[in-house]
Structure 1
Amino acid sequence: MISNYRLSNPLSPFMPLKRHHALVVQIAKRDVMGRYRGSFIGLLWSFLNPLFMLAIYTFVFSVIFHSRWVGQTSGHFDFAVILFAGLNINAFYSECANRAPTLIIENTNFVKKVVFPLETLGWSILGSALFHLLVSTIVLLAFSLFVRGSVPLTIVLFPVVVLAFLPVMVGTIWLLASLGVFLRDLKQAIGVITTAMLFLAPVFYPITNIPGQLRYWMYLNPLTEIVIASRDVLVWDRMPNWTALILYTAVGMCFAWASFAWFQRSRRGFADVL
């Protein structure tokens, strides 16, 4: 039995989260705990991993390359803070996008259970990725406090930026999860695409470094606006571009709705292929 959702409702992509929130939390929690099960220090790795990566970025870019962010006054370690703010967003997106193509394939047992709401799986891996984003952001703010002696007051707006990103994220998961059932090579292609998206977003450089006409094309990358907005509130202590963020959210909602509709239509063939 396929869960009945009114696809004419623009909020239908969020109905699975409302109906099955307890199940979403349970699966997300199991996913996080399962990732570190059997390791000596367990969940502590979720804090150590971003801490180690931040230390490496700081050493390579600040100590070896002496990198500075063009157009901003930067201290010795400021570049690492700026870089890490963008890399966290990329890591958040890549974790979901790289896992999505095999999401249904790895949960074939759920496909064959007629009472299980498959649409909750997308929200669950998104919840797992949100946990890792939260941990990485805490590490970033702690390092920023150590380096700069303070953190921006605008950090309270970071959840708003993440909320604007969620429709694009969950839409990507549903689209890739459904396509991955029929196109088994998709997982390999997504790895290349997410790497390309990292370098085609203003993660390692400011958007102003891109020539005027090419700069507009950069905004076709779904990471671009969120990376810029995240830096605004986490690093630069300034308001994000609200007009751009609202437009981004609106486009993301349309994308999430279209992906959810496709997922609901295509899931009828999952059992036959698997």
Structure 2
Amino acid sequence: MIENIKEIYRYREMLKNLVKKDLRTRYKGSFLGFLWTFVNPLLQLIVYTIIFSTVMRINIDKFYMFLFVGLLPWIFFSTSVQVSAGTIIANKDLVKKIYFPREILPLSVVTSGLVNLLFGFIIIFISLIISKIGITVSLVYLPIVIIVEYIITLAFSFLVSALNVYFRDLEHILGIVMMAWFYFTPIIFPIRMIPKEYLKYFFLNPMTPIIVSYKDILYYGRSPDFLMLGISMLIGLLIIIFSYNVFKILQKNFAEEI
């Protein structure tokens, strides 16, 4: 696996160019262009603020921020995985004509999604200050959570991008899976609302510790549970090793299958 990582590093310029291409073409032709990276989360926040402050009043202080700090990381995860599912097929001309490490494709999707997430955090930080929730020293732990989420997102992206080449329906099934997955992740409800007898099942979900950690740091202004986060990272590493090996096995026939 070390050799594979070295090979990816040798193709870092290709990775960089694919990430730039994705970021440039995402809003190509639109009036605001790259500014949509900031406008999208800002508009989402405005909608949540209006709805949960006037119409659907939920007994959680500043619920719109409680929701927002968990929703943006979830969007990064779900969008990256779903887009990765079709990335090999979408780049079939590249796959058929030139040699390069095929894992560059899902890697570029996840990395461009990460860039968008980081820009989204600018809106979150500003919103935390305006809403008077504030920013605490616990923010220093945020990079750790981002890294763990990146690993988990990349793990699932490797897996679905390879499997979708052979099972094209997977790309469509993922939409339903992600919708169900969303409701089994504590994004719109606090972890304390889950009955104790079901709590262990929610923590089988690798995204549960991630979202809980984001909310601990950004909404509650406290340190995350490092044991929970450490277990999550370990699980993420195990999943990415498994997914990467599956990807390497299946990639041998990508050119023939697409």
TM range (shorter): over 0.9
Taking the TM superposition and a 5 Å limit, the aligned residue runs for 1:64-213 are 64-69=55-60, 74=61, 78-148=62-132, 150-213=134-197
- Structure 1, gaps ≥5 residues long: 1-5
1:3 maps to none
Alpha carbons of structure 1 residues 240 and 16: separation in structure 2 relative to 1, 3 Å:
farther
**Equivalent residues, number:** 258
Q: Which amino acid aligns with 2:143?
A: P
Q: 1:255 aligns with which of 230, 239, 244?
A: 239
Greater displacement, 192-201 / 151-160: 151-160
Q: Deviations over 1:242-265 (max 9, x none)?
A: 111111111111110111111111
Give, in whole Å, the separation in 2 of the partners of 1:40 and 1:124: 25
2:36 maps to 45
| Conservation of the 8 A alpha-carbon contact between 2:8 and 2:104 | yes
Displacement of 1:111 in angstroms is: 1.2
2:47 maps to 56
Alpha carbons of structure 1 residues 15 and 55: separation in structure 2 relative to 1, 3 Å:
farther
Alpha carbons of structure 1 residues 188 and 249: separation in structure 2 relative to 1, 3 Å:
same
Q: Which runs of 4+ in 1 moved over 6 A?
A: none
Displacement of 1:21 in angstroms is: 2.6
| Conservation of the 8 A alpha-carbon contact between 1:100 and 1:180 | no
Q: Among the aligned pairs, what percent are the same residue?
A: 29
Displacement of 1:14 in angstroms is: 4.8
| Conservation of the 8 A alpha-carbon contact between 2:80 and 2:109 | yes
| Conservation of the 8 A alpha-carbon contact between 2:165 and 2:257 | yes
What TM-score does the superposition give when structure 1 sets the normalisation length? Answer: 0.90
Displacement of 1:230 in angstroms is: 0.6
| Conservation of the 8 A alpha-carbon contact between 2:45 and 2:64 | yes
- Structure 2, gaps ≥5 residues long: none
Give, in whole Å, the separation in 2 of the partners of 1:222 and 1:146: 31
| Conservation of the 8 A alpha-carbon contact between 1:197 and 1:223 | no
